[in-house]
């Protein structure tokens, strides 16, 4: 019924992926200052959400699919996509995972089951549901992980998809990463359940589907809950809605400014919009990455030296990714028309 | 060898043959296969043929997802206007994925959408939406006018590796025609010269094509030989065949049941003017619907939508002739 | 419910019943055009709700809208003329069966796309709240609309903002041609809104007394500033989805059984038992309704079709000034 227990190697692997995601996002952020103009458009970071990402995808087996939102850097990193190709994609280079045609919001690596994202809130939910329909008729035990934010649960696409998934008992797990903000709107301002002080997983009731709420900052809790839901889905018992409560440590996205003006990350909306420094600082104190490190060291799973090595390796890797990206060529003009039709 | 079929049955035949040929073709939509006896469900089972709730965003979005995961979904939408409920999925999701992934994925799916029920269905079910979708890069748009094309274009649409909007005109539903037996493919992106002529080129599709062919008969009695072309596919658009015809006739009348300012004829006119200005002996004339929501009342519906008389009148205008007996 | 209420209800239901049956016959001779959806058998819901509303309350309906429009006060001859495509119709012949609008009586409109009316009603409820009076917005829809995304989007906002919206779901068990079980595993529509804490009830939609009472209670609370509410009325659609639908996907209801369920006959029996009406009054009410419908057909036939200039005039607001 429960996913396989995490041995020490697996726990260290999880920590390593969390650190890699964190360091990657840090370098994306720093790129705005170190290499102004290299990143164009809108970029969304997942620092603070690493535990939820890693705990979830750690359950994926070969053949499983994952589809996500535009806040998507973390998933392929945890799945093993080369960070050089991800960074180069964000820099719009020919060596990017999508050859520079997708950018930060549209990463995709079908070779690892990462079928892609939608840049439009909530619209990836039916895609994931369709992939689950494909998995069901293929009959090889594949399961789909579908990630979206709390804001997406107010989209009609959410309602329509979850109803069908429950009706058809599709092999899918819906992971709602509730970071408490829809851009700069707090969830209780736009969600009737949040306004009533309820967990958002209560929405599952409307579809006769199990719904659970977990601390998305605890990678082990995420691993176990998502894993159990995936096992259930694999047995043909249908979908689950999981609300994973997280806190993103960066603002919704980088500042949007006209070309020529350096873009950077503003302060988190808690401070910039609501003047609530306390909320943000409390979140910083609960930062899942150092929390998990402390726990693994305390439990004797990992030493401090090991943790430092992991951090150093991640930093070296991301430096390499930045250098690779900056030095890579842009795609040729004819690439713009190369993928219009298959 | 061929057999006679109504237009709508020719579409079903193509879907059935493609489902027999390729296990990855799946077919779902509202109000279809609600019982075990529904023909498609009986033959292909509940896995590959499913009824959905009234949830267009999920239906079309799921088609995108199933296509990403290796299937070839056909979505039964009944009414083309129902795509408008899920505009994001039709325009901004499916057709974008291949390009944004740098060619890593493909999204083969067919949106089967009936259109143009200009028989008192009033404002929300009678639109001609071709132009709305023909300019979306990555999205193909087809619209058959005969039973044979209905079959051949559906088969090609299913085999195509891209999202395809397959428009079928409701006014042609029960029009019978000869349909080739067995596997029959009409390539996407190839127009059909339905009638040869030397004096004027008429471009029209579906019900408007039939009206144009009728007008061409009338005009023949007046000594005017009209060449009538059916684009069949609007994206990619076969401009070359139209240009070739204009090279012969020097005159072009474009017929379209869409409102004047959202008609595919605008795009065709632009291409011909830019690439074939020197071929034209007279200005291009567009015979379109008026820029108005289609009215319910029968006389006004007829007032807004073009017919054979209006096509014939436009041709006479282009040629500077008067109708017989005038 | 008073004797007078019962009389009004009977009159309204008979008018709708005869209107619908007459339209069905007109459709067969092509005197009305296009796609026609009739509400024969569902008259109880329209009458028991709309008769409690005022002209300044906004009502929205869907493709099966004739009964709601008539119950809300739209003039029967003008609705008939609309269906016959005449200039004297409520929409001057431009809208037809699926697009009835009668602003004068607060029937803000019917839409032919399933569920499209639900967010519009939310807008009217928001306006009602902003205007500060005690008006409410009411939206009628079928159980098929509940699986559409905009239903959920509306429910969340209505609940979040506490708007005076009463959602009336006529659950006839079929979404167009498909049974509810093929659309969702959730049995009752009222269960779908349960996560949002919306005050909700499921009633027998053929029991006019029950609909009258429950809707009346919701209406009083909505007028007092509460909301939103959902009233699920379990009904029976006697005819096919549209006129001409062979309805092969379901079994016809037996005549005898229907006599027991028919909302009009049920209320008549109750009214007689209560002594609210005389023995021969129901028949008189029915006869009067039938005459009114015949007169409306004559009115429609005598009316002109709209002039072509109307098409251009109606494209943009302001052009008729």
Cβ distance of C197 and A192 shorter than 8 Å = yes
Sheet strands side by side (includes B200-203): B192-195, B226-230, B200-203, B252-259, B285-289
> Of B157, B259, B147, B165, whose CA–CA distance to B206 is shortest?
B147
Q: Lowest mean pLDDT of A136-145, A169-178, B178-187, B290-299, name the range.
A: B290-299
In angstroms, the CA A102 to CA A87 distance is 12
Chain A environment of C193 (Cβ under 8 Å): 206
Q: What is the residue-wise DSSP string for A38-95?
A: SS-S-----TT-HHHHHHHHTT--TT-EEEE-S--SHHHHHHT--HHHHHHHHTT-TT
User: Residue B38's pLDDT is what?
Assistant: 86
For B2-180, give the CATH class.
Answer: alpha beta
Tell me how close the Cα of B4 comes to any Cα of chain C, in angstroms.
Answer: 25
Q: Do B93 and A99 touch (CB under 8 A)?
A: no
Cα radius of gyration rounded to whole Å, chain B: 20
- Does the distance separating the beta carbons of B35 and C145 come in below 8 Å? no
- Residues of chain C positioned with their CB less than 8 A from the CB of A156: 148-153
Pairwise CB contact (< 8 Å): B102 & A135: no
Burial C49-74 (b: 16+ CB within 10 A, else e): bbbbbeeebbbbbbbbbbbbbbbbbb
Average pLDDT over residues B57-71: 96
Mean pLDDT of the region B194-209:
98
CA neighbours within 13 Å on the CB side: how many for C237? 24
Model pLDDT, residue B33: 76
Among the residue ranges A217-231, B2-16, C240-254, the one predicted with the least confidence is C240-254
Residue B297 has its nearest CB partner, among C113, C116, C305, at: C305
Count other C-beta atoms under 10 Å from residue C45's C-beta: 29
- Whether the predicted pLDDT of A182 surpasses 60: yes
- What CATH architecture does domain B192-319 belong to? 3-Layer(aba) Sandwich (3.40)
Q: Report d(CA B194, CA B231) in Å as an integer.
A: 10
Sign, CA dihedral A322-A324-A329-A331, equals: negative
Q: Which of A98, A123, A129 sits opposite B93 (nearest CB)?
A: A123
Total structural domains within chain A: 1
**How many CB atoms are located within 10 Å of the residue B244 CB?**
17
Mean per-residue pLDDT, B157-183: 97
Torsion of CA B148, B152, B155, B160, to 10 degrees: -150
Determine whether the interchain pair C148/B54 forms a contact, defined as Cβ–Cβ distance below 8 Å.
Answer: yes
Residues 263-302 (C) with a CB less than 8 A from some CB of B: none
Instruction: With CB atoms and an 8 Å threshold, state whether B53 touches C184.
Output: yes
Residue A2 confidence (pLDDT) above 80: no
Q: pLDDT value at position C320?
A: 53
Chain B contact present for A154, CB below 8 A: no
Q: Given this model, what pLDDT does residue C321 score?
A: 45
- List the single residue in C157, C184, C197 with the smallest CB-CB distance to A163: C184
pLDDT at B324: 67
* Structural tokens at position A173: 């797990």
B65 touches chain A (CB under 8 A): yes
Closest approach of chain B CAs to the CA of A123, in angstroms? 7
Rg (chain C; Cα; Å) = 19
For residue A110, is it within any domain?
A: no
Which chain C residue's Cα is nearest to A202?
A: C195
**CB A192 to CB C192 under 8 A?**
no
Do residues B155 and B19 make contact, with C-beta atoms less than 8 angstroms apart? no
Find the catalytic residue in B125, B176, B207, B261: B125
Residue A113 has a pLDDT of 98
Residue A233 placed within a domain: yes
Q: Do A208 and C197 touch (CB under 8 A)?
A: no
Between positions 185 and 224 of B, the ones with CB within 8 A of A are none
This complex has an ipTM of 0.89
Q: Which residues of chain C have pLDDT under 70?
A: 319-321
> Which residue of chain A is at minimal alpha-carbon distance from B90?
A123
Residues of chain B with CATH 3.40.50.920: 192-319
Would you say residue A1 has pLDDT above 70?
no
Is the model's pLDDT at B171 over the cut of 70? yes
Assigned token pair, B1: 């060898």
Backbone angles phi, psi at C172, to 5 degrees: -100, 10
Pairwise pLDDT comparison (B122 vs A312), residue with the higher score:
A312
Count Cβ atoms within 10 A of the Cβ of residue A30 and give its class: 0-12 exposed, 13-18 middle, 19 or more buried: middle
Q: Is C195 close to A202, i.e. CB distance below 8 A?
A: yes
Joined together, the tokens standing for residue A145 give 């992980």
Q: What is the DSSP track for C158-193?
A: HHHHT--EEEEEEE-SEETTEEGGGT-S---HHHHT
Whether B107 sits inside 8 A of A342 (CB atoms) is: yes
Single out the residue of B187, B240, B243, B197 nearest to residue B222, CA to CA. Answer: B197
pLDDT of residue C237: 82
pLDDT at res. A4? 76
β-strand partners of C11: none
Q: Which residue of A has its CA nearest to C155?
A: A192
Give C249's contacts in chain B (Cβ within 8 Å): 34-35
Cβ-nearest to B48 among A102, A137, A339: A137
Is B265's pLDDT higher than 80?
yes
CATH assignment, C3-313: 3.40.50.970
How many contacts does A have with B, using Cβ atoms within 8 A? 152
Residue range A308-312: mean pLDDT, rounded: 98
- Give the model's pLDDT for residue A260: 66
Q: Is B52 on the interface with A (CB under 8 A)?
A: yes
Q: Which residues contact B3 (CB under 8 A, 6 or more apart)?
A: B178, B179, B181
Q: Residue C285 pairs with which residues in a beta bridge?
A: none
Any chains having at least 3 CB pairs less than 8 A from chain B are A, C
Task: Give domain status of residue A117, yes or no.
Answer: no
What DSSP element (H or E) covers A308?
A: helix A304-327
Residue C180: what pLDDT? 80
Residues 103-132 of B with CB under 8 A from A: 103-108
Secondary element (H or E) of residue C269: helix C263-274
Q: Where are the domains of chain C?
A: 3-313
- Give B29-66 as a DSSP string: EETSS-STTSHHHHHHHHHHEEEE-S-HHHHHHHHHHH
Query: Does any CB of chain B come closer than 8 Å to the CB of residue A168?
Result: yes
**What is d(CA A205, CA C186) in angstroms, rounded to the nearest whole number?**
9
C270 interfaces chain A, CB cutoff of 8 Å = no
B185: alpha, beta or left? (left if phi > 0; alpha if psi -120 to 50): beta
- Tell me the DSSP string of C108-137: EEE-SSTTTHHHHHHHHHHHHHHHTSS--E
| B125 assigned to active site | yes
Say which CATH number the domain at A151 has. Answer: 3.40.50.970
Contact B183, B158 (CB under 8 A): no
DSSP annotation string for A250-305:
S-SSPPP--TTSPP-----HHHHTT--HHHHHHHHHT-HHHHHHHHHHHTTSS-HH
Question: Are the beta carbons of A342 and B108 separated by less than 8 Å?
Answer: yes
**Residue B198: is its pLDDT beyond 90?**
yes
Say whether pLDDT at B31 is over 70: yes
Q: What is the pLDDT of residue A77?
A: 98
pLDDT digits (tens, 9 = 90+) for B222-245: 999 999 999 999 999 999 999 999
A81 in any annotated domain: no
A240/chain C closest Cα distance in angstroms:
14
Separation between Cα atoms, residue A165 and residue A238, nearest integer Å:
7
């Amino acid at each position: 019924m429960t996913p396989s227990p995490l041995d020490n190697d697996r726990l260290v692997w999880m920590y390593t992926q969390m650190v890699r995601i964190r360091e990657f996002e840090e370098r994306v952020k720093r790129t705005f200052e170190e290499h102004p103009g290299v990143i164009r458009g809108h970029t969304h970071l997942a620092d603070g959400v690493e535990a939820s990402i890693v705990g979830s995808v750690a359950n994926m087996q070969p053949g499983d699919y994952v589809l996500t939102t535009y806040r998507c850097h973390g998933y392929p990193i945890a799945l093993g996509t080369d960070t050089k190709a991800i960074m180069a994609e964000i820099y719009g280079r020919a060596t990017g995972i999508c050859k520079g045609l997708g950018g930060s919001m549209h990463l995709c690596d079908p070779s690892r089951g990462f079928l892609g994202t939608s840049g439009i809130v909530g619209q990836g939910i039916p895609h994931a549901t369709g992939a689950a329909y494909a998995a069901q008729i293929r009959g090889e035990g594949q399961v789909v992980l579908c990630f979206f934010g709390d804001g997406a649960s107010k989209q009609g696409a959410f309602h329509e998809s979850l109803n069908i998934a429950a009706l058809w008992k599709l092999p899918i797990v819906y992971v709602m990463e509730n970071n408490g903000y829809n851009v700069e709107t707090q969830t209780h301002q736009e969600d009737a359940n949040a306004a009533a002080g309820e967990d958002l997983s209560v929405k599952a009731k409307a579809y006769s589907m199990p719904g659970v709420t977990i601390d998305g900052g605890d990678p082990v809790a995420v691993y176990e809950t998502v894993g159990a839901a995936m096992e259930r889905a694999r047995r043909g018992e249908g979908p689950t809605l999981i609300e994973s409560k997280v806190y993103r440590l960066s603002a919704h996205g980088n500042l949007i400014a006209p070309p020529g003006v350096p873009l950077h990350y503003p302060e988190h909306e808690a401070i910039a919009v609501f003047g609530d420094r306390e909320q943000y600082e409390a979140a910083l104190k609960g930062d899942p990455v150092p929390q998990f490190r402390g726990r693994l060291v305390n439990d004797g799973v990992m030493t401090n030296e090991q943790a430092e090595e992991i951090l150093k390796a991640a930093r070296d890797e991301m430096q390499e990714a930045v250098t690779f990206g900056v030095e890579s060529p842009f795609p040729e003009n004819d690439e713009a028309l190369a993928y219009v039709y298959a | 060898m061929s057999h006679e079929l109504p237009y709508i049955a020719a579409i079903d035949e193509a879907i059935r043959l493609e489902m027999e040929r390729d296990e990855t073709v799946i077919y779902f939509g509202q109000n279809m296969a609600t019982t075990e006896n529904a023909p498609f469900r009986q033959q292909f089972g509940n896995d590959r043929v499913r009824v959905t709730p009234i949830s267009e965003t999920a239906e079309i979005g799921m088609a995108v997802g199933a296509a990403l995961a290796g299937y070839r979904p056909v979505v039964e939408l009944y009414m083309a206007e129902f795509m408008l409920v899920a505009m994001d999925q039709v325009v901004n999701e499916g057709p974008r994925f291949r390009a944004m992934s740098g060619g890593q994925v493909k999204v083969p799916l067919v949106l089967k959408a009936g259109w143009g029920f200009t028989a008192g269905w009033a404002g929300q079910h009678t639109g001609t939406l071709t132009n709305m979708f023909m300019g979306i890069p990555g999205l193909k748009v087809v619209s058959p006018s005969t039973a044979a094309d209905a079959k051949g274009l559906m088969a090609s649409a299913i085999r195509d590796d891209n999202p395809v909007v397959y428009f079928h005109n409701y006014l042609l539903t029960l029009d019978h025609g000869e349909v080739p037996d067995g596997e029959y493919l009409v390539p996407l992106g190839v127009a059909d010269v339905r009638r040869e002529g030397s004096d004027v080129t008429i471009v029209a599709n579906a019900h408007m094509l039939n009206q144009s062919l009728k007008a061409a008969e009338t005009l023949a009695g007046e000594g005017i030989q009209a060449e009538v072309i059916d684009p069949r596919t609007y994206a990619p658009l076969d401009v070359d065949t139209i240009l070739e015809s204009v090279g012969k006739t020097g005159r072009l009348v474009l017929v379209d049941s869409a409102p004047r300012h959202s008609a595919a004829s605008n795009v065709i006119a632009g291409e011909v003017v830019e690439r074939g200005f020197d071929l034209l002996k007279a200005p291009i004339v567009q015979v379109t619907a008026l820029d108005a929501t289609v009215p319910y009342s029968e006389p006004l519906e007829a007032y807004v939508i073009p017919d054979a008389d209006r096509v014939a009148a436009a041709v006479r205008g282009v040629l500077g002739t008067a109708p017989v007996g005038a | 419910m008073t004797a007078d209420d019962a009389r009004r209800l009977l009159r309204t239901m008979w008018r709708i019943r005869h209107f619908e049956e007459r339209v069905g016959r007109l459709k067969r001779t092509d005197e009305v055009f296009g796609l026609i959806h009739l509400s024969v058998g569902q008259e109880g819901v329209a009458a028991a709700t709309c008769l409690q509303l005022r002209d300044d309350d906004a009502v929205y309906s869907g493709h099966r809208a004739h009964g709601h429009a008539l119950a809300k006060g739209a003039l029967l001859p003008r609705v008939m003329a609309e269906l016959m495509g005449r200039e004297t119709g409520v929409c001057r012949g431009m809208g037809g069966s699926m697009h009835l609008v009668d602003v004068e009586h607060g029937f803000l409109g019917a839409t032919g796309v399933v569920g499209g009316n639900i967010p519009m009603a939310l807008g009217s409820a928001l306006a009602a709240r902003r205007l500060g009076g005690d008006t409410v917005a009411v939206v009628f829809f079928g159980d098929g609309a509940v699986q559409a995304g905009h239903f959920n989007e509306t429910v969340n906002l209505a609940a979040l903002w506490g708007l005076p919206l009463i959602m009336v779901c006529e659950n006839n068990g079929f979404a167009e041609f498909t049974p509810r079980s093929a659309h969702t595993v959730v049995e009752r529509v009222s269960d779908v809104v349960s996560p949002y804490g919306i005050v909700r009830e499921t009633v027998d939609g053929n029991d006019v007394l029950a609909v009258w009472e429950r809707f009346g209670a919701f209406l009083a609370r909505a007028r007092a500033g509460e909301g939103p509410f959902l009233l699920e009325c379990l009904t029976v659609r006697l005819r096919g989805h549209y006129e001409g639908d062979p309805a092969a996907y379901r079994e016809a209801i037996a005549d005898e059984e229907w006599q027991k369920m028919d909302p009009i006959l049920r209320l008549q029996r109750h009214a007689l038992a209560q002594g609210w009406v005389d023995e021969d009054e129901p028949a008189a009410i029915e006869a009067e309704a039938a005459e009114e419908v015949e007169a409306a057909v004559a009115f429609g036939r005598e009316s002109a079709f709209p002039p072509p200039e109307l098409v251009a005039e109606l494209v943009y607001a302001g052009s008729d000034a």
